[in-house]
Structure 1
Amino acid sequence: MESMPFQLNQIVPWGRSFDEYRRMFSLSTADLGSRILGVSDGPASFNSTGSKQGQSIVSCDPLYQFSSGDIRKRIDETFEEVLTQTEANRKNFVWESISDPVELGKVRMEAMEEFLKDFEDHSGS
């Protein structure tokens, strides 16, 4: 597949997992024992997973004004496009903890599904 510019013309929901957050922000066990504010978390599973483990996490994002059904619809509308562009530009990514675009899609979708379940459980939508 020929490389093309990676371009998203609108905001897309793209959630990360708890483990990705830990690595991305170098969160220690002591850090996770503190109160954490997640800003612009989107449909990440960090809050859900961390809360289940006893962490105190509050997340805020403009996305949360929408119903879980609307968020799911947007995920479904954009997911394949993000993966297609990732595959076309795979040489521009560092594939260490996630091996390739297929695994990336699996990890991201699992995180977003976890987010949606938690969001539904706590928002009533």
Structure 2
Amino acid sequence: MRRENSGLELSRVIFVGRTYDEYVKMFDLTDEELKNYTILDTPAGACSFTAIASQLGYRVTAADIAYFHSVEQLYQKGLDDIEHAIEGISKVKENYKWDYFNSIDELEKQRNSALHNCVRHMKQFPELYSPANLPELPFNNGQFDMILSAHFLFMYSDRLDFNFHKKTLKEMTRVARKEIRIFPLADLSGSRYENLQEIIMFIHDLGWKAEERIVSYEFQQNGKSMLRVYKD
């Protein structure tokens, strides 16, 4: 898969992803939604959600700034990033809950599984992986029923400011027809996103509704809530 370079250095791209099963739990997805909705995952990174969902016959598209780079570059970057992430988590294990993953080794195994499934599927179906640089998305108005966004917006609130959050959510409401789900509502330190109420008010001003929902997935401490943005 060939991509034009966006100008972003590959060294600044973090290419680590979650598995399909993690997505189902963190976004509280139902069989009916998976079967009937067109879904956009952004930023999707090295997540295997699109790969596995597509194999199951669901209609899912992935978008990420990383996809401006070649699959080969991303695969090696992913391996390096997983190693780095596992090393870092090992030093602060107390900041995580070890219910879903039984051990550091199990976490590493699942992260590698997501990477392998993602890269293999990218090679086979490059049309399902769109380069995108948020807060802009290269899709039509209302192109997807649902947008899923994991471990990005509020998690990196120390470097993605409130204005960026508003621009991204406005763009997501343009592209989504029915729902947007964002997980988690905590930053990298495990603290709750401090501007959540202001974001919810902004969403209301856009003509959408928003609610916080507790989900069955929690790995990072205090990271067990998602924001559901929806229309009646």
**TM-score interval, normalised by the smaller of the two chains:** 0.7 to 0.9
Is 2:96 the counterpart of 1:118?
A: no
| Root mean square deviation, CA, Å | 1.6
Which of the pair has more CA radius of gyration? 2
TM-score, normalising length: structure 2 = 0.48
Q: Which residue of 2 aligns with 1:88?
A: 91
Shift of 1:39: 0.8
Q: Does the 8 A contact of 2:16 with 2:81 survive in 1?
A: no
Is 2:3 the counterpart of 1:25?
A: no
Is 2:49 the counterpart of 1:57?
A: no
- Quote the Cα distance in structure 2 between the aligned partners of 1:122 and 1:56: 13
Of residues 75, 80, 98 in structure 1, which corresponds to 2:101? 98
Describe the superposition over 1:97-118 as per-residue Cα deviations: whole angstroms up to 9, x where unpaired. Answer: 1112110000010110000001
Q: Which structure dedicates a bigger proportion of its chain to helix?
A: 1
Q: Match for 2:73: what amino acid?
A: D
Runs of 5+ unmatched residues, structure 1: 1-8
Describe the superposition over 1:54-100 as per-residue Cα deviations: whole angstroms up to 9, x where unpaired. Answer: 10101111111111111012113222111011111111101111112
Q: Match for 1:23: what amino acid?
A: K
Q: Does the 8 A contact of 2:41 with 2:63 survive in 1?
A: yes
Shift of 1:10: 4.5
- Quote the Cα distance in structure 1 between the aligned partners of 2:103 and 2:93: 8
TM-score, normalising length: structure 1 = 0.86
Describe the superposition over 1:28-55 as per-residue Cα deviations: whole angstroms up to 9, x where unpaired. Answer: 1111121111110101110010001010
Q: Match for 1:55: what amino acid?
A: Y
Q: Which structure dedicates a bigger proportion of its chain to strand?
A: 2
Runs of 5+ unmatched residues, structure 2: 1-10, 128-232
Length, aligned pairs only: 116
Q: Which residue of 1 aligns with 2:133?
A: none
Q: Which residue of 2 aligns with 1:12?
A: 14
